[in-house]
Amino acid sequence: MAMSTYREAVRAGLREALAGDARVFLMGEDVGRYGGAYGCSRGLLEEFGEERVRDTPLSESAFVGAGIGAAIAGMRPIVEVMTINFSLLALDQIVNNAATLRHMSGGQLRIPLVIRMATGAGRQLAAQHSHSLEGWYAHIPGIRVLAPATVADARWMLGRALEDPDPVMIFEHAALYPLEGEIGERPAAPGIERAAVRREGSDLSLITYGGSLGKSLEAAEILASEGIAIETIDLRSLRPLDEETIIGSVCRTHRAVIVDEGWRSGSLAGEISARIMESAFDELDAPVRRVCSIESPIPYAKHLEEAALPSVAGIVATAREVLR
């Protein structure tokens, strides 16, 4: 089975999309000559030319809006926003246009647009480059929100997203780009809406996504050495949520801990917790617990940044508390 880094897997997905459909083009800051802020589009400008790989001005509202217009006109644009914090400059375009135009046109308009961006902390880039705001976008009807946590998902999710007639946002945790793993075979449909059970267990469900999956699996391995069987769920899709897999896991284990790099207040973890309470309250043997980032802008100093984020030790400690 082929091995790859997460970064190379993203690039392979972009190359396949560009080669397979003349309507597809990539646009964003530094995606062309520089090869992408994270190296994901390196070499694609030379391979496909400036019409298909377009460097844009530093104006997120302008180039996301251009992507929406191109999608309405029949193209299949892939818009790269350098980091999730910068996507706030395009919030009006995403929330008030991309997510609503199909509804407001009575179904006459379709916006087959994919917006990719890096999210998350752990690289000492401080508060304007490190936040996890994907839960905000998961709040918005009219868009699909994906969070590939594995090399295989980084490779294959893009093609599926481009098949969707509505806007899809893909959040790539920036700390994952060097991650190595197996690409695997192209997955069969349905695919991207379903959560994945990355580790089976019977004592507690760890529910997570994106950059927190590796930490959760590491915590599950530590607890396994103590005879505790942790089931680890990778959400993969944040909107829609795969409630069937989440609730099914909780019904097997009767306990749940949600690991979310977003802040606790108003978090995606809170939404998942509420859904578990609504659908599986009688199955719970203990309250649902959350492991989230500290309620503070992400610090620059390495030791403070590490302290602000969910940690393996914090996940292990919370799981032990729930299991008492």
Mean pLDDT of the 298-321 span: 97
- Indicate which CATH number applies to the domain containing 71: 3.40.50.970
Q: Is the pLDDT of residue 190 over 80?
A: no
Q: Is residue 175 part of a domain?
A: yes
Which of 156, 182, 208 corresponds to the end of one domain? 182
Specify the amino acid at residue 250.
V
Statement to judge: residues 166 and 218 lie in one domain: no
Statement to judge: residues 172 and 272 lie in one domain: no
Backbone phi and psi for residue 217, each to the nearest 5 degrees, phi listed first: -65, -35
**Which residues constitute the domain of residue 256?**
196-323
Statement to judge: residues 76 and 142 lie in one domain: yes
Specify the amino acid at residue 50.
E
Look at residue 185 in the predicted model and tell me its pLDDT.
85
Statement to judge: residues 28 and 152 lie in one domain: yes
Statement to judge: residues 267 and 307 lie in one domain: yes
Statement to judge: residues 160 and 26 lie in one domain: yes
Q: What does the block give as tokens for 34?
A: 């520089």
**Residue among 242, 223, 241 nearest 231 (CA):** 223
Say if residues 166 and 228 touch (Cβ distance below 8 Å): no
Q: Which of these is catalytic: 29, 129, 172, 271?
A: 129
Statement to judge: residues 19 and 149 lie in one domain: yes
Statement to judge: residues 208 and 175 lie in one domain: no
Statement to judge: residues 160 and 262 lie in one domain: no
Share of the chain above pLDDT 90, in %: 94
Position 141 confidence tier, pLDDT thresholds 50, 70, 90:
very high
Q: What does the block give as tokens for 279?
A: 């659908």
Statement to judge: residues 155 and 229 lie in one domain: no
Look at residue 81 in the predicted model and tell me its pLDDT.
98
Q: Is residue 258 part of a domain?
A: yes
Q: Is the pLDDT of residue 39 over 70?
A: yes
d(CA 116, CA 86): 12
Statement to judge: residues 114 and 229 lie in one domain: no
Q: Which of these is catalytic: 8, 60, 261, 305?
A: 60
Look at residue 2 in the predicted model and tell me its pLDDT.
83
Mean pLDDT of the 19-23 span: 97
Q: What does the block give as tokens for 324?
A: 């008492």
Count of domains forming the chain: 2
Statement to judge: residues 49 and 176 lie in one domain: yes
Q: Is residue 55 part of a domain?
A: yes
Q: Is the pLDDT of residue 156 over 90?
A: yes
Mean pLDDT of the 269-290 span: 98
Q: Is the pLDDT of residue 315 over 70?
A: yes
**Residue among 320, 273, 314 nearest 293 (CA):** 314
Say if residues 58 and 82 touch (Cβ distance below 8 Å): no
Say if residues 223 and 140 touch (Cβ distance below 8 Å): no
Q: Is the pLDDT of residue 1 over 80?
A: no
Q: Is residue 72 part of a domain?
A: yes
Reported as a single tens digit per residue, the pLDDT across 86-128 is 999 999 999 999 999 999 999 999 999 999 999 999 898 999 9
Q: Is residue 247 part of a domain?
A: yes
**Catalytic status, residue 173:** no
Q: What is the DSSP string of 289-302?
A: EEEEE-SSPPPSSH
Q: Is residue 104 part of a domain?
A: yes
Q: Is residue 215 part of a domain?
A: yes
**Catalytic status, residue 139:** no
Q: Is residue 49 part of a domain?
A: yes
- Indicate which CATH number applies to the domain containing 286: 3.40.50.920
Position 191 confidence tier, pLDDT thresholds 50, 70, 90:
confident
Q: What does the block give as tokens for 64?
A: 């996301």
Which of 126, 160, 182 corresponds to the end of one domain? 182
Q: What is the pTM of this model?
A: 0.96
d(CA 18, CA 68): 18
Beta-strand runs (E) in the chain: 3-5, 24-28, 53-55, 76-83, 114-119, 144-146, 168-173, 180-182, 196-199, 204-208, 230-234, 237-239, 256-263, 289-293
Partners of 76 in the beta sheet?
Answer: 24
